[in-house]
Amino acid sequence: MHEIAMAERTALCQVDTLEPGEMVRVEVAGEDPLLLINDAGVFRLLDDDCTHAIASLSEGRLDGNILSCPLHGGSFDIRTGKAKSLPCKQALRTHKVIVESGMVYFEG
């Protein structure tokens, strides 16, 4: 017998509670902390923990598509999760976001 894994949705926030250019750390049961970003109307979801050391990227700075870590200033491209500057080398994981009926959902 084959088991089919069903994707589960978790509501993260209402679309209009996160303005373009804003980001927030969100918690989803069973997941590492996540970072939800309103990228000029496109919602992006990445790991919130920096891949270099221990820092919450939600406390960092967003300049366009580049997210800088508050601790040592390494940076990531929020569209891909790829590390853009040292000391960060390892990419952030990106996650699937669904926007439906005015709500933003994590689907995993």
Q: Does 74 engage in binding with ligand FES (CB under 6 A)?
A: yes
Cα 9-102-59 angle, rounded to 5 deg: 75
3-state helix, strand, coil in the chain (%, to 5): 5, 45, 50
The answer to the question of residue 62 lying near ligand FES (CB under 6 A) is no
Binding flag, residue 69, ligand FES (CB under 6 A) = yes
71 binds ligand FES, rule: CB under 6 A: yes
Phi and psi for 26 in degrees, rounded to 5?
Answer: -130, 150
* Interface pick for ligand FES out of 87, 93, 94, 98 (rule CB under 6 A): 87
Rule CB under 6 A: choose which of 27, 53, 64, 99 binds ligand FES: 53
Tokens describing residue 94:
């990106």
Q: How far, rounded to the nearest angstrom, does the alpha carbon of residue 75 sit from its chain's CA centroid?
A: 14
Residues lying near ligand FES in the complex (CB under 6 A): 50, 52-53, 55, 69, 71-72, 74, 87-88
